[in-house]
Chain A
Amino acid sequence: MSFINYASREINCKIVYYGPGLCGKTTNLQFVYNKTAPEAKGKMISLATETERTLFFDFLPLALGEIKGFKTRFHLYTVPGQVFYDASRKLILKGVDGVVFVADSQEERIDANIESLDNLNINLKEQGYDLNRLPFVVQYNKRDLPNIVSVEELRRELNPANVPDFEACATTGEGVFETLKAIAKLILIDLKKGK
């Protein structure tokens, strides 16, 4: 739920990166962090296991600029993708304004993608959200690898509603800002409707 503070003239929005384990959610945030000017970002927090798997969440606050005299801030979160962390994923979805689904393009991860997207739908519904009405974009990550599924097939499986989608390689950063920009835009357009 975005938070508008008329007193300090700030608006805060929450973006959640969702997707199966090892699909590259944390890598997306790391790239954004590395490429953002120091004055526009806060500290990146990663609550991770010793093997760098997300345990609870990653958090990256961005202060991009002003709109109509309001400081516009985006709080980026990732969920832990591993199946057994479902309780944590539900907590992180609370108050979400927009979701990025990061898919792993590798052939052997297609079922994991489908399962994770299904899990996203279920967890959102449980909290009274509807993915069809929420700002939502899809990213097909790891396009640099050899054993990947075609975008057409991924689209068929993971993006039947035809929301904005992007090919990416999070390690080199290809597609990362395009994805972020798209979800931020959808959120702001939603705000514009003054829902």
Chain B
Amino acid sequence: MPSPQMVMYEDEYKKINHIIEKLLREANSKVIFLVDKNGQLISGVGETERFDTTSLASLTAGNIAATGGLAKLIGEKEFSILFHEGEKDNLHISIVGGRVILVVLFDSRSSLGLVRLRVKKASEELTAIFDGLLKRAEEKEKSSDSEFPFAEITDDDIDNLFR
């Protein structure tokens, strides 16, 4: 398989949320999402209930994938920052640590310059955490011992999902 299982643990989750909450305040933004490159939402802070976060995550990942494809066509590695300007709200989308997508939604109470500045700082902190997570996942994969919750799945468990 191409890359190890993506996992998230309590400790790292708390640290990540702490960082994006700080970013939310310091960048004067409305909502911040972290999305896996495969389109799965990792976390969100701010006015998240106003948005369909699952759709947002999938479309963001599709967007990054499509522009990444464009980048390769013109000989770039990837476009690490995307900016979409709306009438009221703007989206700043960036890639963190090569693997995770950071989405910042902000309006005229903030500015692109400020968002860019704060995102840069937060990205460094987030990268460190995601690198650690990746290492942990790789080690887990090697050592077959695990408190892996799905080792004990039964056929009944699976059938019950489709009742």
Question: A-facing mask of B1-26, CB < 8 A → 1, else 0?
Answer: 11101111110111000000000000
* A42 lies within 8 A of B54 (CB): yes
With A7-B10, A56-B66 as known contacts, state yes or no: A75 contacts B55, CB within 8 Å: no
Interface segment, one of B32-40, B103-111, B122-130? B32-40
Residues of chain A lying within 8 A (CB to CB) of residue B59:
45, 59
Question: B-facing mask of A120-157, CB < 8 A → 1, else 0?
Answer: 00000001110000000000000000000000000000
Residues of chain B lying within 8 A (CB to CB) of residue A56:
62, 66
Partner of A75, one of B8, B40, B144: B40
Nearest neighbor of B66 in chain A, beta-carbon distance: A91
Interface segment, one of A100-108, A109-117, A168-176, A187-195? A187-195
* B6 lies within 8 A of A3 (CB): yes
Query: How far apart sit A91 and B163, CA to CA, in the bound complex (Å)?
Result: 33
Across the A-B interface, how many residue pairs have beta carbons closer than 8 Å? Answer: 131
* A43 lies within 8 A of B55 (CB): yes
Is B158 among interface residues, defined by CB-CB distance under 8 A? yes
Partner of A129, one of B2, B14, B42, B161: B2
**Measured between C-beta atoms, what is the minimum distance from A87 to chain B in Å?**
6
List which B133-163 residues lie within 8 A (CB) of chain A: 144, 146, 148-153, 157-158, 160-163
Between B65, B144, B152, the greatest number of chain A beta carbons within 10 A of the residue's beta carbon is seen for B65
Partner of A185, one of B7, B42, B158, B163: B158
Is B69 among interface residues, defined by CB-CB distance under 8 A? yes
Residues of chain A lying within 8 A (CB to CB) of residue B163:
65
Residues of chain B lying within 8 A (CB to CB) of residue A72:
161
A residues lining the B interface (CB < 8 Å)? 1-8, 11-12, 14, 42-43, 45, 47, 56-57, 59, 61, 64-65, 67-70, 72, 75, 87-88, 90-92, 94-95, 127-129, 177, 181, 184-185, 188-189, 191-192, 194-195
B residues lining the A interface (CB < 8 Å)? 1-3, 5-10, 12-14, 36-40, 42, 52, 54-55, 58-59, 62, 65-66, 68-69, 144, 146, 148-153, 157-158, 160-163
Can you name 18 extra interface pairs (CB under 8 A) apart from A8-B13, A95-B37?
A: A1-B38, A3-B38, A5-B7, A6-B13, A7-B13, A45-B58, A65-B163, A67-B153, A68-B150, A75-B58, A91-B62, A95-B38, A129-B1, A184-B162, A185-B158, A188-B158, A194-B148, A195-B5
Offer 11 A-B interface pairs, CB within 8 angstroms, sorted by A: A1-B3, A1-B38, A5-B13, A7-B10, A43-B52, A70-B149, A91-B68, A92-B65, A127-B2, A181-B162, A184-B158
